[in-house]
Structure 1
Amino acid sequence: MKAIILDDVAVNGKRIDISFRVDKKLQRYFQQGNHLFFQYNDDLKDVPVSVAAIPFVANTAPLAWITNSSIYVSELDKSFYDCLANIKKAYQRMYPDVIFSGEIHVDHLIENSYTPEHEAAQLFSGGLDALATFIRIKEKKPLLITEYGWHQHSVQRSKVWDADEKHVTRFACEHNLDNILIHSNYGTFISAQEIDRHFLKKLGDSWWHGLHHSLAIISAAIPIAYKEKINCIYIASSYFRGYRAKCASDPTIDNEIKFASGHVFHDGYEINRQEKVKLVVDYYANKETDVNLRVCFLNEKNCCHCEKCVRTIVGIVAEGSDPSDFGFPITGSLSQHISDFLKDNVKYFTPARIMQWNLSKDRMKENQEKIMDQELVAWFVMYDFAAERKKALLKYRLTKFVPIIIRRVRTRLNRIRMQNL
């Protein structure tokens, strides 16, 4: 059986460095150097190796399972090891066409424990889902944890991260809370493109979205949660009950994660995205505090042009609020802005995505008297996403696809003629 072997876990000050080896057949799935690191803005004193090793196992376990490989670790927290079997079963139910095999071998299982001193920590990006979860659990005074996992071999500053850090630290200060900032290469130390090349078709989803990101993000927070003696790590739901989507972040997976005396909770799965928008809008309705939802996680500010931005804008409008009050400054006609976006992009909408947009449309119908932009209401509440997508696809194929086919046929015929001369 192919092997992934953890060689060393070095816990020094605010940093964890992990080195490992893999069989030649697996090396194509990893970047050169076989190195995974985590850097925190707080000291990791008293965090044992058995806990510091958790992020390595969490990041590599799904790959071991789909490649029928074994992970070898000297020591590991027993609570985390015990929860892996249920996580594996959850993945298997989610992806029935892929066999999840492989094993995790541990020489020494360590029964770590502590008496919780803090009720909650929250993975906090500043986005809609995260803000909705914060509002729901704010009385627990959560430790706010924000991560950037896209470094290469070392920490490199970026304008996007600087904007994120500024936003979350200001938010924490306003609410008299503490921040934990985590830098890592968990998003790059594995070659996602190479995994997708072999497994995308079988999985029906990408490695990062379908198998990796939730375990990576949650496990990065576990060493600091152990140090701070946190009872529960909260992660905001991306989807909601009834939304058909495969995703690494799912309550059947996240809620199984255990470590020492702590556990994880996938929050907000029982409410949909529009209900989260309402929660946020209502919360800030009588507050003078500025609100800046961080929807564009790859940009310094919300671009207001991508699908996620525009969908959030529509959701805010449907609640009778002004998107500019939530970090979405639209210049010119809002109605035209949304109309132009749909004209160019509705052809790419999946049925699941249309379901999300229809939530905002339905809310706009219910709430239309409170909506400031009546020009938008006039046409949007009548907009048929499925029908418009069908028309847009037909137009696209006629104007783009058919000419390409004709040109290729002509080229091939010309080659045949030249060969016959």
Structure 2
Amino acid sequence: MSSILIDQLTTDGGTLQCSVRTSTDLERFISDDPFRTRYDVSIEDVPDGVLAIPILAQVCPVAWANGADVYVDEIDATFARALENVEKSLCDMHDFLEGGTLYARRTIEPEPETRDESGLLFTGGVDSTCSYVRHREESPTLVSIRGWTITPSSADDEKWDALKTRVSGFAEDHGLETAYIESNMLSFLDHPMLLAHYKRYVDGGWYSSVGHGLGLLGLCAPMAYARGMNDLYVAATHWKGIDLEWGSRPDVDEYVRWAGTKCHHDAYELTRQERLDVIADYVRREDPSLELQTCNDRIDGNCGHCEKCYRTAVGLRLAGLEPSDHGYPFSDADYHDLRQSLERGDWVLGQDERHMWGDIRDRAREAEPATPAEETFFDWLDDADLDVLVSTSGPPLTHRILRAGARNAPNIVYNAMYPAWTTAKAGLRFVRSNR
């Protein structure tokens, strides 16, 4: 019987660690390293049933993909009920998920101290900045997580330091607190093997398409419990009317909760361009020097030339702001380069980017172009076949072959191949975030 067993849960100040045992058939999806997460607040007084939430939030989707059961000593009753709802949503969303059963020796219903606080997962991108603007009266704690797009590897130390500096600066400017979480959740999971098995079923990667709504929110549980947070917000990537198979959606995030805390999928009723409108109104009224950070290639600023930088810059112009005033080097000459890159298929684009460029096109059809270069680009975009722009982008054949090989290899062979596979997959951009 396929199974995952959570055991040896320990805390030391703000550090959580536990080991996981699996049945033989699931060994390839879990590394030999223990699961570790470090918080900047003590979690010593957090009940074990809440401490188990971060690890359960990572391994349960893996179990559901394999029809496996999960065993844990203690679980918060509210979260156990939430998992049932999330499981149903993800299984309805993805045909390859089979589901499974969670078994716990004890369920608990703790009554945490609440201090009427809220938290917001924050990167400084369009979506999370819009959510800050919408909830700024609550003075939410800005929560930043290391472990997904910024890995726990020492090679990413500079990126993490840059993000912390930027978020801390934003928090200081706006009178907010911060919370920083560092975890090995994606190196603890064998993400290359998950990609090898399931990339063929999803538009993005495993974590983006399946795991990250439950995974990122669940990772916050001990911190939220210790801080007394009633509400935890995660900004929507997509919006009403877009039915994509994505790991963070209202029918996932809105179910996630535990003792004392409810999670919220925020601003789903707004398109990305409408979120930029919210930001633009806030900029004009209160914060004229606000800068956004959305770059695909840099964490310490915006390169101005990746797809996301171009997309955000065009959106800012349509919202009535000058991109160069808000972190994006952009001029009329960039419209020509942007069009060429889109036509050549220079970027790996998915269905979410197709919808976002469609959103820009809808707004551009209502707008009066400010310059001839802008008018030329919008005329081209009006006639462009966005489905073709997406379909011409995709992972190289070599990566698809490597995935197939890893998927079918016995564990002993896979373990020997793993270093080569890890090196090869490093060139593949398999996650897209902070849309």
Same fold per superposition (TM over 0.5): yes
CA-CA distance at 1:152 after TM superposition: 6.9
Q: Is the 8 A contact 2:67 2:100 kept in 1?
A: yes
**Equivalent residue number for residue 303 of structure 2:** 303
Rg larger in structure: 1
**Equivalent residue number for residue 146 of structure 1:** 144
**Equivalent residue number for residue 123 of structure 1:** 121
Query: Which amino acid counterpart does residue 120 of structure 2 have in structure 1?
Result: Q
Residues 204 and 346 (structure 1 numbering): CA distance in 2 closer, same or farther, change over 3 Å? Answer: closer
1:34-53 counterparts in 2 under 5 A? 35-53=34-52
CA-CA distance at 1:170 after TM superposition: 0.7
**Equivalent residue number for residue 220 of structure 1:** 219
Q: Deviations over 1:285-335 (max 9, x none)?
A: 244553221212652322222222211111111122211112111367233
**Equivalent residue number for residue 3 of structure 1:** 3
Q: Is the 8 A contact 2:342 2:389 kept in 1?
A: no
**Equivalent residue number for residue 111 of structure 1:** 109
**Equivalent residue number for residue 376 of structure 1:** 374
CA-CA distance at 1:340 after TM superposition: 3.1
**Equivalent residue number for residue 74 of structure 1:** 73
Q: Is the 8 A contact 2:146 2:183 kept in 1?
A: yes
Unaligned runs of at least 5 residues, structure 2: 398-435
Tell me the distance in 1 between the aligned counterparts of 2:256 and 2:331.
45
Q: Is the 8 A contact 2:119 2:231 kept in 1?
A: yes
Residues 116 and 344 (structure 1 numbering): CA distance in 2 closer, same or farther, change over 3 Å? Answer: same
**Equivalent residue number for residue 28 of structure 1:** 28
Matched, 1:15 2:5: no
| More off after superposition, 275-284 vs 112-121 | 112-121
1:272-283 counterparts in 2 under 5 A? 272-283=271-282
Determine helix, strand or coil for the equivalent of 2:233.
strand
Q: Is the 8 A contact 2:354 2:387 kept in 1?
A: no
Tell me the distance in 1 between the aligned counterparts of 2:270 and 2:8.
42
| More off after superposition, 179-188 vs 383-392 | 383-392
What TM-score do you get using the length of structure 1 for normalisation? Answer: 0.86
1:76-95 counterparts in 2 under 5 A? 76-95=75-94
Query: Which amino acid counterpart does residue 320 of structure 1 have in structure 2?
Result: G
Tell me the distance in 1 between the aligned counterparts of 2:7 and 2:29.
18
Determine helix, strand or coil for the equivalent of 1:187.
helix
Tell me the distance in 2 between the aligned counterparts of 1:391 and 1:153.
34
Tell me the distance in 1 between the aligned counterparts of 2:385 and 2:142.
43
What TM-score do you get using the length of structure 2 for normalisation? Answer: 0.83
| More off after superposition, 142-151 vs 120-129 | 142-151
Q: Deviations over 1:150-198 (max 9, x none)?
A: 5777777622111110111011111111100111111221112212222
| More off after superposition, 341-350 vs 236-245 | 341-350
Determine helix, strand or coil for the equivalent of 1:112.
coil
Q: Is the 8 A contact 1:121 1:144 kept in 2?
A: yes
Tell me the distance in 2 between the aligned counterparts of 1:246 and 1:21.
29
Tell me the distance in 2 between the aligned counterparts of 1:5 and 1:308.
40
CA-CA distance at 1:64 after TM superposition: 0.7
Q: Is the 8 A contact 1:4 1:23 kept in 2?
A: yes
Q: Is the 8 A contact 1:362 1:381 kept in 2?
A: no
**Equivalent residue number for residue 167 of structure 1:** 166
CA-CA distance at 1:234 after TM superposition: 0.4
Determine helix, strand or coil for the equivalent of 1:131.
helix
CA-CA distance at 1:343 after TM superposition: 3.1
Q: Is the 8 A contact 1:17 1:38 kept in 2?
A: yes
Q: Is the 8 A contact 2:307 2:347 kept in 1?
A: no
Q: Deviations over 1:225-265 (max 9, x none)?
A: 10111111100001001113110101001000110121101
Query: Which amino acid counterpart does residue 230 of structure 1 have in structure 2?
Result: M
Q: Is the 8 A contact 1:58 1:216 kept in 2?
A: yes
Tell me the distance in 2 between the aligned counterparts of 1:243 and 1:4.
34
Tell me the distance in 2 between the aligned counterparts of 1:388 and 1:6.
45
Determine helix, strand or coil for the equivalent of 1:375.
helix
Tell me the distance in 2 between the aligned counterparts of 1:57 and 1:289.
42
Tell me the distance in 2 between the aligned counterparts of 1:388 and 1:78.
46
Tell me the distance in 2 between the aligned counterparts of 1:10 and 1:111.
20
**Equivalent residue number for residue 361 of structure 2:** 361
Residues 392 and 218 (structure 1 numbering): CA distance in 2 closer, same or farther, change over 3 Å? Answer: closer
RMSD: 2.6
CA-CA distance at 1:342 after TM superposition: 2.4
Determine helix, strand or coil for the equivalent of 1:269.
coil
Tell me the distance in 1 between the aligned counterparts of 2:242 and 2:42.
40
Tell me the distance in 2 between the aligned counterparts of 1:57 and 1:231.
21
Residues 378 and 153 (structure 1 numbering): CA distance in 2 closer, same or farther, change over 3 Å? Answer: closer
Q: Is the 8 A contact 1:305 1:341 kept in 2?
A: no
**Equivalent residue number for residue 403 of structure 2:** none
Determine helix, strand or coil for the equivalent of 2:188.
coil
CA-CA distance at 1:221 after TM superposition: 1.1
Residues 240 and 286 (structure 1 numbering): CA distance in 2 closer, same or farther, change over 3 Å? Answer: same
Residues 347 and 192 (structure 1 numbering): CA distance in 2 closer, same or farther, change over 3 Å? Answer: closer
Unaligned runs of at least 5 residues, structure 1: 402-421
**Equivalent residue number for residue 327 of structure 2:** 327
Higher relative contact order (CA 8 A, sep 6+): 2
**Equivalent residue number for residue 267 of structure 1:** 266
CA-CA distance at 1:341 after TM superposition: 2.7
**Equivalent residue number for residue 133 of structure 1:** 131
Query: Which amino acid counterpart does residue 323 of structure 1 have in structure 2?
Result: P
Determine helix, strand or coil for the equivalent of 1:31.
coil
Query: Which amino acid counterpart does residue 164 of structure 2 have in structure 1?
Result: E
Q: Is the 8 A contact 2:91 2:99 kept in 1?
A: no
Q: Deviations over 1:360-381 (max 9, x none)?
A: 2332332326x3x442123424
Q: Is the 8 A contact 1:11 1:49 kept in 2?
A: no
Tell me the distance in 2 between the aligned counterparts of 1:75 and 1:391.
49
